[in-house]
Each structure stands twice: as structure tokens, then as C-alpha cells.
Amino acid sequence: MKIEKRLAGTFLAAAMLAAALSGCSGGGTAAASGGDDTAATADSGLTQVRWVSPSALATFDYSWMYVAQEMGYFADEGLEVELIENIDGSDARYLAAGSADFGGSSPGVALSSVDVGATNIQAVVNQVSSNIFGFAYSEESGIQGWDDLAGKRIAISAESMTSIYNPILEAAGVDTATIEYVVFSNARYEALQSGTVDAMATWIPEYEMCLGLGYSGWGFLSGNDVLPQIANSVWVNTDFAAENPEAVEGFARAVTKAIYFCYCNPEAAADITFNYYPSIDCTWEGAVGAVNGNVQGMVGLTEEDQLARIEAHTIGVFDMDIVQQTMDNLLSGGSIRTALAAEDYYTNEYVDTAWDYAEVEADADAYECTSSVYLAQE
């Protein structure tokens, strides 16, 4: 495996995920002080809880969070949520330390923290239920399937990101020693479009955003086809959960409602995100593409999968077999050192599957877009 660097500095995998999981993003940091395990009550009468992000907040990856706030789903549960931005990959440790009550870690980040002693965290909502990583390729490159990636030049955002993509290639039977990775940082889109590289390591929301931005002649190979596993979840500090089970149930219900809202009206979710973060530099089409990509990750990669999950009322519910497979993948790949059991760190205990989908559908139908980006393209 050869790695060539173009227009890039030195990055950590967690930092790159923090900066770019949806492509269009802003910056900034935030911090919060720690506290005890009992939720505080605000002057509004709502219970105050804290959620720590695994990456920069100004992105469409967290449209579901902004929807839950804007549409009053958290307030309906008696919750007031403080968002804490974390961009250095320490979000799981931050949660375990009690500096936040909820988090949004990936399995790798959370379970590697568990592996070194941060065992008081548990995943309570299956937020990203599929492996959203994969490879965009130029149709002019001759690539039609996984075997065709052997010997190709692939643009990647940072050298450290090979830890995410090499296991996918290996699962597909591709010899990673033949791959020439080229680090292009934020110039990856242009590199692929111009034919400078044959393919680009990416994820579904970013790929859909690129299509919305007008990039064309591309195809996509989904990592979930060869390495099915979950991605980010809603995690909770178990000490907090023991003291505040109703708050955890309410948080989970609000999140699953918001995920369904994003499915019903991705344009509204994009609009709400623009209103929360006007500094996001993205076109309307790119924003809606990013939300649609996130919906695929949260609800199902295909329309058939999405409809099945909705009809079964299982948004947010973990498939424990897939969870265990994800944990086993991390163990075999060296991301964790200890074999872990899915039921010890993932649970469906707090997910309510009986809330009224029709109410959320009505909310989504009634929403009127007001963001400046939306109005500018009218």
C-alpha cells in the first residue's frame, strides 16, 4: 500500500471525522464542566441534560439533533439539551467521566475507551444503523466492482483514515498492498472529477452531498455490502441512566422521532440546520443531499429497508447480531484488545417503539422552510 500526500497536513482519524463527516461544515469548540449523576432542573422547569458530539456541530450529520430541538421533541419529554462540541476523539472518555450525560460516539471510539477502563457507558439508540463508508469512483476509470479497485489511485482525506477503509477493502477481497492512496484533504472531490484519481474514500452523506453539488459521472461501492456493521449510536453514562431512567427514555424517544422527521422531510431538516448554523457554506442541493445520505444511514440503505424499519416501528432499535459482528470486526482489526459481548454495552431497553408516527408526519408536512439558503434558490 503506497500513500502519497497532496495538499495535506498531519491529521488524526478522529479529527478528520470531526471536521468532515458531512462535507459542508463550520468550526468552533465548546466545553462544559462536569457534574453529579442527577439531572439538573432549569428555570423553565425542564430537566437539563448534556450531549457531547463526536465531531464539529456545524454539519448536517446532526440535523436530527437540531430537528429534535426545533420541533420541541426534547421539550415534550421535559428535557433541555445542552450541546457540547468535541472534535479531538475524546467524546467517549468525556462521557464516561460524567462531563456529559449523553454522547454520539462511533463503535471504534466508544469501545476502545471501554477497552481501557471506561466501562460506564452504554449505547441506547441505534442512530446510524449501517456501515456508511465506501468508495466513490469515476465511471471513466473502468471500475465496475470491488475487484477493479486493485492497483487504483484512491483519494483519501488523511493517511490515518486508512484504518477505516482498509478493513472494507480486505472484506471485499482486495489486496490493500496494491492500493495507491493519495491524501488530497479537501480537494478530493475535484481530484476525482478531474480524473486525477480513480476513486475516493468517502461516506454516503458526503457522496450524496457531492451529487447535489453537481459532481457527475460517479458510482459508489458501499462498504456495508461487504462489511455490514453499525456506526454511531446515542450513548449514555450508565451512572446517569441509573439515576434518571425516564430522562434516558425521553431522550431516546425524541431522537427517534427526529430521525423519522428527517426521513419524512429532508428539506425541512436541512433548513433547520441552516437556521441553527448560518455559517455552513453549502448549496441547498448539497445540503439536502447530505441529509438524504444521513437518512440512508439512520433508517436504511435502500427504500425497501427503510419501509421495513418504518412499518415495524424499529427506528433506533439495535440488531444485536449486527452489533456483535461490529464488535468482532473491531477485535479482529486490532481496534480493541478484549472480546466484548454486545448485550453488555448496547441495549434496546430505553427505545420506545409505540410513539405515534402520524404526529411526526404531520409535523414534517406542516414545516415551511425559512433559511436564507432555501430562499435564495427559490
Q: What are 171-215's pLDDT values in tens digits? A: 999 999 999 999 987 789 999 999 999 999 999 999 998 998 899
Q: What are 224-283's pLDDT values in tens digits? A: 999 999 999 999 999 999 999 999 999 999 999 999 999 999 999 999 999 999 999 899
Q: Which CATH entry fits the domain spanning 40-129+230-376: 3.30.2010.10, 3.30.1540.10, 2.120.10.30, 3.40.190.10?
A: 3.40.190.10
| 109 pLDDT above the threshold of 70 | yes
Q: Establish whether domains 2-17+131-225 and 40-129+230-376 are of one fold.
A: yes
Kindly state the cell numbers that stand for 92: 467517549
What crossing angle do the helices spanning 245-264 and 266-276 adopt, rounded to 10°? 120
Q: What are 328-375's pLDDT values in tens digits? A: 988 988 888 999 999 999 999 999 999 999 999 999 999 999 999 999
Is domain 2-17+131-225 given the CATH code 3.40.190.10 in the classification?
Answer: yes
According to the model, what pLDDT value does residue 316 have? 98
According to the model, what pLDDT value does residue 364 have? 98
Chain mean position to CA 23: 12
According to the model, what pLDDT value does residue 14 have? 34
Q: Does the predicted model carry a pTM greater than 0.75? A: yes
Place of cell 459508489: 220
Pairing verdict, β 121-125 and 234-237: antiparallel
Cα-only R_g, the chain: 20
According to the model, what pLDDT value does residue 24 have? 61
According to the model, what pLDDT value does residue 88 have? 86
Q: How many helices (H) and strands (E) does the chain have?
A: 17, 12
d(CA 323, CA 54): 19
CB 261, CB 269: distance < 8 Å: yes
According to the model, what pLDDT value does residue 186 have? 72
Kindly state the cell numbers that stand for 2: 503506497
According to the model, what pLDDT value does residue 167 have? 87
Domain segments of the chain: what residues? Answer: 2-17+131-225, 40-129+230-376
Q: What are 51-87's pLDDT values in tens digits? A: 999 988 999 999 999 999 999 999 999 999 999 999 8
Using the 8-state DSSP alphabet, how is residue 59 labeled?
B
